[in-house]
Structure formats: structure tokens, C-alpha cells
Amino acid sequence: MNEQSSNQEARPEGVSGKGSDRRRFLGAGAAATPFLLTLVSQPALGATCFTPSRSLSRNTSVSQDGKYGECLRAESPANYAAAQQSSQGIWPAAVPPTTLMHPLFAQGREQGKTLFLKQENGQMVSMTLGEAMQINSAGQVHLYVIAAYLNKMGGNGAEIPDSVLTTQKILGIWQEYATKGYFEPTAGVSWYADDIINYFKTNGIVG
């Protein structure tokens, strides 16, 4: 009884425990709102992106100028795969879905993973980029490399600075992966399928 009476006396007159709890909850919600808005607006603002080797440390000091930048409006593989009509305006004009996968991207040895061929008029010929984007294979590196290339080429208004990646560097990442099964961002470090995909995604190079 004494303990209950003490708790009641500690509250201001006319304020119940439930009302106090409600204010504390609303106060916490109001404080959290700006944080939530920041998370929602991040994709529109883009992401700080790094070269493959610099992404290992993500260092933005003055000494690292020229090795990172801002990647903006990067599209996802799923959006490119779904939007293959010219009227949808997502693919860059210079690289339509009808562009051949090979020889633009080097051929590997594993069909549906690093090699994308189809039979046409009794011959094996390269699939188009649009056709390759419809194939889900283990690792799915090709989906992200193609999307990174399309974003670099300005697909749907994407901006990937040359200081981070050039089209030749993207093609080089694929060539090394397709022929060796991994990519080396720096000597002694090997990136396999998940590592390559993670690099493109976490640096805002692919949505």
C-alpha cells in the first residue's frame, strides 16, 4: 500500500500513468521520424561509390581523390529485365535489349552462367542482352554486370562517374570472372560471385 501511494504522489495532479506513457511514446516517435525520412530519401540522393580496390577500405580522405564519387539513379537488373520495350525508355539508346551478349561480354565455359548461346537455324549463336537478362543462374553475376554496364551507359538517367568505373573496367571484371571464376580487385584478394554482386549493390552502381 505504501509503495502504491508513493508512485501516485510522484505524478503531477490529473496525469495518469497511461497518459504519461503515451506522451513518452509519441515523443520517441517524433524523434525517430527524421531518421526514417532520411532512409526513404537515400536512393534519390544516390550513394558514395568507390573503385573496386578502394571499396575494401571505403576511404574518402583527400588523398583518395579520384577513387570515389557519387553514383546516382542506378537501375536494378529486375527493372531492366522487365522493361525491354523501347517505349519504356529504361535501356540506354546505344545499348538496346537486342545487343548481342557476345562478343561485347567475354565468353566463359559454363552455359547459362558465363556463356549465353542459343540455337538458331541449326547454329549456336549469342543470345541478346535482353535474353540473357531473363536467365537466372547460380550466382547471377551476369545480371549485375549487365545492369552495371547499362547504368554506366546512362540507362534511365543513371550516373556512374569515370573515377569509379569505366565501361572497360566493367567488361574487365566480367572477363576475369568468366575466365577464372573470380575477380581480383587488388593483388591477393579474390572476389567470387557474391562478392562481385555485393560490390555493385553496396556502392550504388546497381539498384
Question: Per residue in 143-157, pLDDT tens?
Answer: 999 999 999 999 999
Answer yes or no: is pLDDT of 207 > 70. Answer: yes
Among residues 144, 147, 159, which one has the least CA distance to residue 191? Answer: 144
pLDDT on residue 58: 61
Categorize the per-residue pLDDT at 68 as very low, low, confident or very high, splitting at 50, 70 and 90: confident
Answer yes or no: is pLDDT of 1 > 80. Answer: no
Answer yes or no: is pLDDT of 81 > 60. Answer: yes
Answer yes or no: is pLDDT of 10 > 70. Answer: no
Q: DSSP letter string over the chain?
A: -HHHHHHHHHSPTT--HHHHHHHHHHHHHHHHHHHHHHHHHHHHH-EEEE-TTGGGTT--SGGGTTSEEEEBSPPPHHHHHH--SGGG--S-TTS-TTSBSTTTSPP-SSBTTTB-EEEETTEEEEPBHHHHTT---SS-HHHHHHHHHHHHTTGGG-B--TTT--HHHHHHHHHHHHHHSSEEEETTEEE-HHHHHHHHHHTTS--
Single pTM value for the model: 0.75
pLDDT on residue 137: 72
Cell numbers that stand for 205 in this block: 552502381
pLDDT on residue 55: 86
Could you tell me whether strands 189-191 and 47-50 are parallel, antiparallel, or unpaired per DSSP bridges? unpaired
| Burial grade of 159 (CB within 10 A; 0-12, 13-18, 19 or more) | middle
Answer yes or no: is pLDDT of 142 > 80. Answer: yes
